[in-house]
């Protein structure tokens, strides 16, 4: 039985989530449809630009993304504390960057309301505050926007997405890094690019271009940064995890060199030693990043944290706990 999205998120257990959304049937989000010859490549920029807008509005950070031909991946971090630290006026301004808002709140912002109206306006604003760190609202604002633009361009109506987005909780640093590497390697595994840095519309390409100080004329989302060399030992909430960007690039490169039977592509060069420096067993890591015959597990991380997450979300068991042992 399908569970509501709020029952698949526990911010007490982890703020990190991997979300996937796929187009319905054979519809194309982006790329070229070989059956009709229609080119939808320009839609990739739609996704990136919408992500750029949403991470400016929501208290949700973007760690990684990849825009494929008929689906996309995002790795997100929910920053509940940031939303709770905003003033009521800041919340209203943030929300109304996306939605017009009722006249009552607009009058309250102009200090034109009586006491009773002010209380009602504040009640509405508090609902908005909760939505601004809600994963479901973030994904809704992304998918509805893209569906409307695509249907308008195609001159049609109806469902554009296959269904509700899929989410996966990432319960520790290794799970976050593993998922980010998986997302950034999607174009390589699909045979769309020879190397991660050559993979268009991915977070790794964006990070690698930033290292080289290459300018971009397109609107790009702000990515949650990796830690720098001076603060490698600190636990800074302003970064993804205590790992340097260059080390992450090498990690993705090393993972991408491992051939997978179920994928067309891989990186062709010698593996790096980043796995040993991270304290991750190479065989366990490769097994974890390999093909999964079962459905995607709802949460990934050490077995103790997976069990805690199951309890926090009202479950007695989470399928896929076998994969957690490799990371435990």
Residue 182: band (very low, low, confident or very high) from pLDDT cuts 50, 70, 90: very high
Task: Kindly report which listed range (4-13, 91-100, 110-119, 220-229) carries the lowest average pLDDT score.
Answer: 4-13
The domains found in the chain, sorted by start residue, are 21-83+133-291 (3.30.70.1290), 87-131 (no CATH)
Give tens-digit pLDDT for 65-106.
999 988 899 999 999 999 999 999 999 999 999 999 999 999
The answer to whether residue 324 scores a pLDDT higher than 50 is: no
Residue 264: band (very low, low, confident or very high) from pLDDT cuts 50, 70, 90: low
Task: Measure the CA–CA gap between 51 and 62, rounded to whole angstroms.
Answer: 8
Average pLDDT over residues 32-43: 72
Q: Are 135 and 92 in contact (CB under 8 A)?
A: no
Task: Kindly report which listed range (119-123, 182-186, 205-209, 250-254) carries the lowest average pLDDT score.
Answer: 250-254
The answer to whether residue 147 scores a pLDDT higher than 60 is: yes
Beta strands in the chain (DSSP E): 16-22, 60-67, 71-78, 166-170, 299-300
The answer to whether residue 49 scores a pLDDT higher than 90 is: yes
Q: Of 153-162, 178-187, 304-313, give the range with the top mean pLDDT.
A: 178-187
Q: Of 96-100, 230-234, 260-264, 313-317, give the range with the top mean pLDDT.
A: 96-100
Residue owning tokens 């790009």: 220
The answer to whether residue 108 scores a pLDDT higher than 50 is: yes
Q: Structure tokens of 268?
A: 């062709």
Full-model pTM: 0.79
Task: Measure the CA–CA gap between 210 and 223, rounded to whole angstroms.
Answer: 11
What is the Cα 7 distance to its own chain's centre? Answer: 18
Query: Could you tell me which residue, 31 or 190, shows the higher pLDDT?
Result: 190
Q: What's the CA angle centered on 128, arms 125 and 131, to 5 degrees?
A: 160
Q: Are 326 and 306 in contact (CB under 8 A)?
A: no
Q: Are 15 and 79 in contact (CB under 8 A)?
A: yes
Query: Could you tell me which residue, 310 or 112, shows the higher pLDDT?
Result: 112
């Amino acid at each position: 039985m399908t569970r509501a999205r709020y029952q698949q998120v526990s911010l007490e257990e982890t703020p990190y989530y991997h979300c996937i959304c796929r187009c319905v049937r054979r519809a194309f989000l982006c790329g070229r449809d070989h059956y009709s010859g229609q080119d939808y490549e320009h839609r990739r920029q739609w996704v990136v630009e919408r992500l750029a807008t949403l991470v400016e509005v929501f208290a949700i950070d973007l760690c990684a993304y990849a825009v494929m031909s008929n689906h996309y991946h995002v790795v997100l971090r929910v920053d509940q504390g940031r939303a709770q630290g905003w003033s009521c006026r800041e919340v209203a301004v943030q929300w109304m960057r996306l939605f017009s808002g009722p006249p009552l709140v607009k009058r309250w912002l102009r200090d034109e309301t009586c006491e009773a109206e002010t209380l009602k306006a504040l009640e509405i604003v508090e609902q908005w505050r909760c939505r601004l760190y809600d994963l479901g609202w973030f994904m809704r604002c992304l998918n509805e926007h893209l569906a409307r633009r695509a249907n308008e361009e195609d001159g049609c109506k109806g469902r554009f997405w296959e269904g509700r987005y899929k989410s996966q909780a990432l319960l520790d640093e290794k799970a976050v890094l593993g998922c980010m590497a998986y997302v950034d390697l999607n174009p390589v595994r699909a045979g769309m690019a020879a190397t991660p840095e050559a993979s268009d519309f991915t977070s790794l390409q964006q990070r690698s271009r930033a290292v080289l100080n290459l300018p971009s004329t397109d609107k790009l989302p702000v990515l949650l940064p990796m830690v720098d060399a001076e603060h490698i030992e600190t636990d800074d909430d302003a970064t993804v995890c205590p790992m340097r960007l260059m080390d992450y690039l090498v990690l993705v490169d090393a993972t991408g060199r491992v051939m997978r039977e179920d994928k067309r592509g891989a990186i062709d060069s010698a593996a790096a030693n980043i796995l040993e420096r991270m304290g991750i067993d190479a065989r366990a890591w490769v097994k974890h990043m390999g093909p999964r015959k079962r459905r995607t597990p709802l949460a990934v991380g050490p077995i103790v944290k997976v069990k805690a997450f199951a309890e926090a979300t009202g479950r007695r068991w989470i399928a896929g706990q076998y994969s957690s042992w490799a990371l435990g």
